[in-house]
Structure formats: structure tokens, C-alpha cells
Amino acid sequence: MNPPAIRIRPEVEADPPAIFDLTRRAFAPMPFAAGDEQVLIGVLRDLGALSLSLVAEHRGEVVGHVALSPVTHESGEAGWFGLGPISVEPALQRQGVGGALIAEAKRWLSDQDARGCILTGDPNYYPRHGFLPAPGHAPEAEPPEYFMVLSLSGGIPDGRFRFHPAFYA
């Protein structure tokens, strides 16, 4: 099967309802889903904490989305971001759309001279995109076995990260 033709671009004013709906549908079948991933994106946006919001467009429809937000580290070191939620239209999963969104998010992080990026996710999926398990750096109350870090420069400082407060609301 040919991969779907997609265009990746930053979200525009008309996109939030489609992003909300896509995220809800993509996470619904996932056993680990909290059920409010689609709400979290809106809260981040309202707080001015949606550092990057990229959509994948296919035939004029939003079929993929990834969010980046600022995170903190107990050392006080700045320049770290959190990746997620990330969603791909269920019918178009496993055709490279998620990988393309992550690649574009990594390009943005490099352009910002970011130190790196953290996420909680499937340890079988994210290492192919450079994220490595980092259980010793997991935020409190986060499952350490699913916590991963992409270090872009300078390694990972000792201590724990913390996602944006919106993740704990």
C-alpha cells in the first residue's frame, strides 16, 4: 500500500475542533488512555503552553496531530519540551503519518536549540525516533517504564522532569 499523501503544517485557527475530534477517536481504543487527551490540548492552548501544534492534512482533512509543550527539570535546566498527545486517524495508522509528525517536531526542536524532549509512551515505538528509556528521570507518579527522553545536546541532567502543570490538572 502506498503511504497516504500528507502535508504537515502548524495548526491554524480553524483546526482545534478537528484536532479535538481526531484525538478523542485515536485514543478511545487505547487501554492506557486517560480519556481526556483531547481536552488537554485545548487547556495547553488556552494557557499559551502549546509550544508547537502540528497537523497532518490528507485530502483537506486533519488526519494527524502532535503537540509539544514546555516541561521543567528539577535542576532548573531550561530548554526541554514534552511531546504529546500524538494522534493519527485510526484508518491511516501504521503508514508513516505518526513518524512524519515526530520528524517534523524534532526539526522544530533543533531549530529552537532545544536541549531535548520527553514523553510517556510505548517503549517499542519511540526508540526508532531517538527517544531512549529514562526511568530514573520520570516525573513522580508517571510509570517509569514508559518514560523516554530524546537528548539533543548536552545529555540528561540528574534528576526528574515534570510535564506542564496542565498534565496534572
Ligand X SMILES: CC(C)(COP(=O)(O)OP(=O)(O)OC[C@H]1O[C@@H](n2cnc3c(N)ncnc32)[C@H](O)[C@@H]1OP(=O)(O)O)[C@@H](O)C(=O)NCCC(=O)NCCS
Whether 137 and 147 have beta carbons less than 8 Å apart is answered as yes
Which cell goes with 155? 545529555
Shortest distance (Å) from residue 89 CB to ligand X = 8
Q: Which is nearer to ligand X, 17 or 159 (CB)?
A: 17
Shortest distance (Å) from residue 45 CB to ligand X = 18
Q: Which is nearer to ligand X, 52 or 77 (CB)?
A: 52
Q: Which is nearer to ligand X, 118 or 156 (CB)?
A: 118
Residue type, 127: P
Q: Which is nearer to ligand X, 2 or 13 (CB)?
A: 2
CB-based closest residue to ligand X:
98
User: Contact residues for ligand X (CB under 6 A)?
Assistant: 26-27, 30, 84, 86-88, 93-99, 121-122, 124-125
Q: Let me know if 48 is exposed, middle or buried by CB neighbors in 10 A (0-12, 13-18, 19+).
A: exposed
- CA distance readout (Å), 25 to 57, 71, 121: 16, 26, 18
Whether 8 and 108 have beta carbons less than 8 Å apart is answered as no
Integer Cα distance of 91 and 61 in angstroms: 13
Q: Which is nearer to ligand X, 96 or 133 (CB)?
A: 96
Shortest distance (Å) from residue 125 CB to ligand X = 4
Whether 144 and 120 have beta carbons less than 8 Å apart is answered as no
The arrangement of strands across the sheet holding 61-70 comes to 7-10, 52-58, 61-70, 80-88, 116-120, 147-151, 132-133
Shortest distance (Å) from residue 138 CB to ligand X = 14
Shortest distance (Å) from residue 158 CB to ligand X = 25
